[in-house]
Amino acid sequence: MTENVIAGSGDGKIAAINLADVEIQVSELSLEHYQLTKICGTGTLFVSTGAEPKIRIIDEAVIMAKGEFVIEGQGHKMVALP
């Protein structure tokens, strides 16, 4: 089970780190200036970017996009309500 997720924005990658065994899973996102928000209880991450008006829904287990939706304007840091 992944217990934490971090992003490395320098080279467009996202990395999930399992804190139990320090296994690191890396995936290419190829997004510029992105921000990610972990949506607790859903197994997903929402990833926004200032480069385009779109939010990616990332499957946390495999660190791959499983959907997306369009917003108006630039995306930025999101928040998941409890």
Partner 1 sequence: MIVLNVAILAALMLSTAITTAQPVVIAPENSTFSVLMVNAEGGEAGKRIIGLEAIQESTKTESVSEIEHAAHNSLAEDKPIGPSDAGISILSVPDATTGGIVWRIEVPGAVHQTAISSDERCAVAIHRSGNGISVINLMSFTPTVYAELCRCGRVARDRSIG
**Using rule CB under 8 A, residue 46 touches partner 1:** yes
55 binds partner 1 (CB under 8 A): yes
- Residues in the chain, total: 82
Question: Is 7 near partner 1 (CB under 8 A)?
Answer: no
Total binding residues toward partner 1, as defined by CB under 8 A: 28
Looking from the CA of 3 toward its CB, the CA atoms found within 13 Å total 6
DSSP-assigned beta bridge partners for residue 37: 46
Residues 8-37 that bind partner 1 (CB under 8 A): 37
Report in angstroms how near the CB of residue 34 gets to partner 1 at its nearest.
Answer: 13
* 8 A C-beta contact, residue 18 and residue 1: yes
